[in-house]
Each structure stands twice: as structure tokens, then as C-alpha cells.
Amino acid sequence: MEPFGSVTAGKSIKKELQQKQLFAMLEPAQERLKRYSVQELCDKAAITYEEKTGDFIVPSLNMQIRVHYPDFTINQPLNMWHHLTILQYMDTADGSALTDNWISLADMRGGLSRGFGFNKDIETMFRRDFGNISAEQFAQACEKLGGRLQKNKADVSAVIPYAPMFPITVNFWESDDEFPASGKVLVNEMAEHYLTIEAAGGACSAVVFEISKMLKKQ
């Protein structure tokens, strides 16, 4: 068995490498956005531009993320994955209209290889993090993230806007005497017009993680 210190060091090194990889992806993402005019970005991603500050305003998880133009930097304290996903959203977005149909990540293009893995990880997060959470508590956390509650077969169902044209539906069933807590996430069937499967899976995982963080503050 490895000493505890070695395990901790290994995790730290892995995290540092991941951060370096994400940072290496940042500059190319910023360069790709320089191909577009301000108006093109506003139109295709459904975002606004504030001339006074030179910032694009991208609503995400009840935050107003400011992306500075023309260098496409974000000075707010975001984790690197969220930072990159917002830039990818601005680049990938093509202005396609959303529909009333919702799909699993596995049903997105490329989802057969990646979507099932994301779904499994997210279902594990629900069982692990929400076992003692009531439907009322879960609903309140969703609303604090800008979620809009809706009625369906789940104990709680909320549509949470990760980005203006990338809503995520979160369905939650609280635990009872027979079954543990469970949940699923769905994306709009037009999701691939705004994020790749990898980024979409990360966005869905991030929403569930943010709900968990919100509940810990209650």
C-alpha cells in the first residue's frame, strides 16, 4: 500500500497536469473567436455586448460572465473548465433554434462513445451527494442557480441555463425506504449546435456539482 503522502502527491501532480492541459487549450480557443465580429457572436450565441466596458455578457449558472473583447479573456474567478466551455460555446454556437425535445447525452452526436460514460458518472453523483436531500431542498438549490421548475414524473425537475442557448434539464428523485436518491440530466436535441459532446458532458456534470455546493451552503 502506498504511503498517504505519496497518494496525496500523486493526486496533486495529476491535477496540476490537468490544469496545464486546460491552460494550453485556452489560447487556441481565444484565437478562434477572433474570426468573428462582435455582432456575429451576439447573434449566434444569444449574448450581449457592452460597449462601455468592451465585454460580452454571457449568463451562466446565475452569473453574468464577462468575456473581454478583443482578447477574449475572463477575469472573474472561474475554474478553467468553465472558462473554456464558455469560450467553446461562443465559438460553436450557430444560432439554431431550440426545440421542445430533450435527449440524453448518449443521444448526442458522438454520444455512443462518450455520452454513456457521462450519464453513469452523473448518476453516481446523484446517489453519492443527494441521499439525505429532500425534494424541497433540491428545488430551492436549482432556483438559486437560475433554474425554472417544471412538472413531470420526477420529484423535482428544473431547467437550468448553463448558457443562453444551452439549457440543461435536471430530474431528481429523492431517496425512500426502497430506493436511493437518483437523478438524470437531459439536453436540448439541438445541443450539438452549441457544444461538443465532451463539453456538454462537462457542463451537465458541473450543474449537478453546483447544486451540491449550493445545498452545502443551506
pTM beyond 0.85, yes or no: yes
> What's the confidence (pLDDT) of residue 12?
62
Rounded to whole angstroms, the Cα distance separating 90 from 33 reads: 7
Residue 21's pLDDT band, with cuts at 50, 70 and 90, is confident
Of the candidates 149, 184, 191, the one whose C-alpha atom is nearest the C-alpha of residue 167 is 191
- Provide the edge-to-edge strand list for the sheet that holds 166-173: 102-103, 182-188, 166-173, 156-163, 148-150
CB neighbourhood size of 210 (10 A): 19
pLDDT at 37 over 70: yes
User: Which pLDDT value is given to residue 211?
Assistant: 98
**SS3 call for 118:** helix
Residue 175 has pLDDT above 90, yes or no: yes
In the predicted model, is pLDDT for residue 206 greater than 90? yes
Q: What is the pLDDT of residues 56-107, one digit of tens each?
A: 999 999 999 999 999 999 999 998 899 999 999 999 999 999 999 999 999 9
Which three cell numbers mark 125? Answer: 453523483
Q: 51: burial class by Cβ within 10 Å (0-12, 13-18, 19+)? A: exposed
Alpha helices by DSSP H, listed for the chain, are: 4-33, 38-45, 80-92, 111-129, 135-144, 197-217
Instruction: Assign 8 to helix, strand or coil.
Output: helix
List Cα–Cα distances, 127 to 96, 120, 122, 123, 152, in angstroms. Answer: 35, 11, 9, 7, 20
